[in-house]
């Protein structure tokens, strides 16, 4: 007698592959052997990007060469610029959101990349660097189009983080804003077999190309249960503020949350499939974001205080902790970044993790093709 196969819903607990890139554990988050708090305190985003893509920490000359390559690849082909010129209309007057524009922008890039059909390791590394350099330019140009401004050209004198902020606003960021952005990108860069990375590996496992795998990954990251949670977390705090009024009244916040619990609504930016005792990235970003809020003034401190009250109630009543997207929402808001760009900025970082995984998949490939437990109708005849 054969027993019916059972499925792990959401693949919970399933070990779906091997990787040398990252380890997400209850007690730690490690990129290629380095702990996340160590990287957040001591490494720049470009160093982390190199570590993930190449496999080792760069020497100073390797880092300088890597940065120069990224700077040289920031400009976009004319056809992508043409598309982005119309992106403001698509967002402002139609149904597009920035994550969709970014997904299409990456897809158009594939038509114009000389390496796009080549999955060889050298071609994949060249494409990884190009995508890493080009994605902030897509985000910047798109934001300028949404705001009805001319595009801001990439600034070769600026780091990945500072250039991203400048292209969105036209202004040089302060060193403090650059630092907060940089650390947030370090924190977001990689997270083993999360949904978008797994998507990218599935596409790569068919011998699909890097741009295709990244396009699919962007679509997966957009969802609110994954990367879209940083926007959703900020939207939720705005909803709470609208409903409770200008003061952080704990009783009103508690009532708001009890209503959400009663309606079985998920609070955005809380919970995690792996981390059940807290996300290691969250307190790092929270501390930085709060400092930025203190520098910006009362309105922003009050936002963090609201978030801290929500967090305390979640922890006390549900034993559920914030994930990195919760402080990210408050932090990017404090920095004046438009909410619909929070998840595209996540992409500007996670592109490194995706590309590292796509290269790892191509280097030791086997088609990812699991089985499923069939629970549909028993066999029947079409004609009867």
Catalytic residue among 191, 211, 272, 357: 272
CB of 229 to ligand CMC, least distance (A): 4
Q: Give me the residue whose beta carbon is nearest to ligand CMC.
A: 271
CB neighbour list of residue 115: distance below 8 Å, 6 or more residues apart: 123, 124, 126, 127
**225 and 269 in contact (C-beta within 8 Å)?**
no
Q: State yes or no: is 325 an active-site residue.
A: yes
88 is a contact residue toward ligand CMC (CB under 6 A): no
Catalytic residue among 113, 192, 279, 325: 325
Q: Which of 173, 271, 327, 344 binds ligand CMC (CB under 6 A)?
A: 271
226 is a contact residue toward ligand CMC (CB under 6 A): yes
Q: In the complex with ligand CMC, which residue's Cβ is closer, 40 or 84? A: 40
Q: Which of 37, 320, 339, 368 binds ligand CMC (CB under 6 A)?
A: 320
How many C-alpha atoms does 261 have within 13 Å on its Cβ side?
13
Provide the b/e sequence for 178-211 (b: ≥16 CB within 10 Å): bbbbbbbbbbbbbbbbbbbbbbbbbbbbeebbbb
Tokens of 260: 């959400």
Neighbours of 216 (CB within 10 A): 20
10 is a contact residue toward ligand CMC (CB under 6 A): yes
CB neighbour list of residue 90: distance below 8 Å, 6 or more residues apart: 96, 100, 101
357 is a contact residue toward ligand CMC (CB under 6 A): no
C-alpha distances out from residue 86 to 20, 109, 146, 211, Å:
41, 16, 9, 22
Ramachandran angles phi, psi of 191, nearest 5° = -160, 50
Q: In the complex with ligand CMC, which residue's Cβ is closer, 216 or 227? A: 227
Q: Which of 71, 168, 268, 347 binds ligand CMC (CB under 6 A)?
A: 268
267 is a contact residue toward ligand CMC (CB under 6 A): yes
Q: State yes or no: is 226 an active-site residue.
A: yes
Binding mask 180-209 for ligand CMC (x = CB under 6 A): --------------x---------------
Neighbours of 365 (CB within 10 A): 14
CB of 236 to ligand CMC, least distance (A): 10
Q: In the complex with ligand CMC, which residue's Cβ is closer, 272 or 280? A: 272
280 is a contact residue toward ligand CMC (CB under 6 A): no
Q: State yes or no: is 279 an active-site residue.
A: no
Residues near ligand CMC (CB under 6 A): 10, 194, 225-227, 229, 266-273, 320, 323-325
């Amino acid at each position: 007698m054969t027993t019916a196969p059972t499925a792990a819903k959401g693949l919970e607990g399933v070990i779906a592959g091997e990787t040398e890139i990252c380890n997400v554990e209850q007690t730690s988050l490690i990129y290629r052997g380095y702990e996340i708090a160590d990287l957040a305190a001591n490494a720049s985003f470009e160093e982390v990007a190199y570590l993930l893509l190449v496999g080792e920490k760069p020497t100073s000359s390797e880092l300088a060469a890597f940065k120069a390559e990224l700077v040289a690849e920031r400009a976009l082909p004319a056809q992508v610029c043409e598309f982005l010129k119309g992106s403001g209309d698509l967002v402002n007057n139609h149904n597009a959101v920035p994550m969709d524009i970014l997904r299409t922008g990456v897809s158009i890039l594939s038509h114009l990349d000389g390496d796009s059909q080549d999955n060889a390791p050298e071609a994949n590394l060249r494409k990884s660097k190009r995508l890493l350099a080009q994605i902030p330019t897509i985000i910047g140009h798109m934001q300028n189009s949404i705001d009805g401004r001319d595009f801001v050209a990439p600034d070769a004198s600026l780091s990945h983080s500072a250039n991203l902020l400048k292209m969105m606003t036209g202004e040089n960021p302060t060193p403090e804003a650059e630092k907060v952005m940089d650390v947030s990108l370090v924190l977001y860069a990689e997270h083993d077999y999360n949904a978008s990375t797994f998507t990218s590996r599935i596409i790569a496992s068919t011998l699909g190309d890097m741009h295709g795998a990244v396009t699919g990954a962007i679509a997966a990251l957009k969802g609110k249960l994954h990367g879209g949670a940083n926007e959703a977390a900020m939207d939720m705090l705005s909803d709470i503020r609208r409903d409770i009024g200008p003061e952080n009244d704990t009783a009103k916040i508690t009532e708001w949350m009890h209503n959400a619990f009663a309606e079985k609504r998920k609070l955005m930016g809380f919970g995690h499939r792996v981390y059940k005792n807290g996300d290691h990235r969250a307190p790092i970003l929270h501390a930085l974001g709060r400092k930025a809020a203190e520098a910006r003034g009362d309105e922003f401190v009050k936002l963090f205080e609201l978030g801290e009250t929500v967090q305390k109630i979640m922890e006390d009543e549900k034993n559920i902790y914030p994930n990195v997207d919760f402080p990210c929402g408050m932090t990017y808001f404090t920095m004046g970044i438009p909410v619909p760009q929070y998840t595209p900025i996540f992409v500007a970082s996670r592109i490194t993790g995706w590309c590292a995984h796509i290269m790892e998949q191509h280097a030791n490939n086997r088609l990812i093709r699991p089985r499923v437990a069939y629970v549909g109708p028993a066999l029947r005849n079409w004609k009867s």
